[in-house]
Structure 1
Amino acid sequence: MRIVFRCDPALAETLPQPVPARTVLPDWLRKMPAKAYSEIHGRDIRTVKQCPPFVDAMTHGFMILLPCDVAVENGAFEWHWDIAEPSTKGHPRSPLSFHVAEQLAGAPFANGLAAIKFNSFWTIELEEGWSLFATHPVNRDDLPFRLVTGVVDSDHFQDAGINFPAIWTDQDFRGVLPKGTPVAQCFPVPRAAPELVFESFDAAREIAYAQTVADVLAGPGVYRKQFRDKRTR
């Protein structure tokens, strides 16, 4: 999959580039213990740090990064970002804009406040037939906001930036959201509708099911060693 990012030439030396998600894993994941004692089991058990599906979800795709420090105090957002005047007409200069609360009326995640919107300074071009799935950075409940998930047909919509709306969830947050904070995790998805096929196990599948379950229960690392794709990480 070839993904092309473009930006205003006046900002090319200023903007943080989108990066592979695997390069911006949070410190808390690195610091997590690999095992923790379980009262129920009476022994140490593996934590999610050793769960490949958990980690692979966090490393999938690429991240859009906050382009500058944003200070937050009492619900107000402030930044000092001295960038060149974009050469492209209609191009944003602010890292954030807003959606009024009424645009979220009836949504279960609405909190009665305006939603922030992370302005994008990169256009994204995907190959024909693919769309861009943009969501909150996976398993990142430590972030004080929650991105609103969306899908954009970026094989066609590729000449303007995609903006990423988010709900500010931590009303007690006081401090700085630093430059480089991942704000959106993105990955291409095929637009063609899948064909759903339903079958009962035949004899071979019953044997395979029983053997796979037995192998998984027999010891750790079965999925990682036998089934996990050894893709570049």
Structure 2
Amino acid sequence: MSTPDIPPAPRIIARCHPALAALLPEPQTARAALPDWLRTMPAQTPADTLNGDPVRTLKHCPPFLDALSLGLMMPLATDLHFDRGAVSWDWDPPVLPDTALSRAPIALHLPEQAKGAPYPLAVNSILKFINFWTLETPPGTSLLFTHPLNREDLPFRTLSGVVDCDLFRDGYVHFPALWLDRDFTGTLPAGTPIAQVIALPRGTSPDLEVTVMTDTQIAANRRLQDDLATTPGTYRKRFRH
């Protein structure tokens, strides 16, 4: 089937202070930062509810995979060590007298700053991952910063925000996050994805129309549902760009 012309992906330029270039993990395309558990996940597995018959796993779900692969991933700058709510690090970046950027890889928001929001706080604060990269987008392009999609394995939940990085290209966007497990003890290694970045054309809210299906559309819908139920890979082969 024919597809409409797709405009080229916007070019995002990530910059860091030259004195930090050798220390920092670099942002990556999300496709290059897929989690290890996805690589090791079986393609099929026996289902107890189907008497052991095999079922396909999420590894066969293109929408799930495309969400994991969308945009960019911003990495954690250095190892963070957690011990039941306490956090520490062994990192000593150079003093940068020409910038006001923090030397600490993490900061805190007071819990009162989220008063009224239905957020569970496992610790008495909201963490803020410090980002040491500026991001520049083409004119008219904003960036959505959000928790890495489908990454429920991470012990935090990054809050989402949209920044007009065509204009805010010289500033740092930091990432507030809810810590989910007060008793977590372990290390978040440098390079852990802490925010997924998705480019958005600004000022393009959808023009929504709500209506009912015609008889022709009902018939087409039924044919498609039958194909999805009987032919594995229908979406991937016929509709996925």
1:201 corresponds to 2:213: yes
Moved over 4 A (4+): none
SS in structure 1 at match of 2:235: helix
Q: Quote the Cα distance in structure 1 between the aligned partners of 2:45 and 2:141.
A: 41
Check whether the contact 1:9–1:87 (CA below 8 A) recurs between aligned residues. no
1:19 corresponds to 2:31: no
Gaps of 5+ in 2: 1-9
1:116 corresponds to 2:123: no
Check whether the contact 1:132–1:152 (CA below 8 A) recurs between aligned residues. yes
Seen in structure 2, the aligned counterparts of structure 1 residues 186 and 138 have a Cα distance that, compared at 3 Å, is: same
SS in structure 2 at match of 1:77: strand
Residue type of the partner of 1:46?
A: R
| 1:58-95 CA-partner distances (Å, limit 9, x unpaired) | 11111000111111113111111122222532122111
Q: Paired residues, what number?
A: 229
- TM-score relative to the length of structure 1: 0.92
1:52 corresponds to 2:82: no
Mapping 1:71-86, distance limit 5 Å: 71-86=81-96
The equivalent residue for 1:103 is: 113
The equivalent residue for 2:223 is: 211
Seen in structure 2, the aligned counterparts of structure 1 residues 87 and 19 have a Cα distance that, compared at 3 Å, is: farther
Check whether the contact 2:68–2:150 (CA below 8 A) recurs between aligned residues. yes
Check whether the contact 2:159–2:177 (CA below 8 A) recurs between aligned residues. yes
Q: Quote the Cα distance in structure 1 between the aligned partners of 2:12 and 2:96.
A: 23
| 1:108-131 CA-partner distances (Å, limit 9, x unpaired) | 113261011011111111122221
SS in structure 2 at match of 1:40: helix
1:188 to 199, 207, 223: 199
Identity value in percent = 45
Q: CA deviation at 1:20?
A: 0.7
2:102 to 92, 111, 114: 92
The equivalent residue for 2:172 is: 161
1:33 to 33, 42, 49: 42
Output the aligned Cα RMSD.
Answer: 1.6
1:151 corresponds to 2:162: yes
| 1:44-63 CA-partner distances (Å, limit 9, x unpaired) | 11111111111110111110
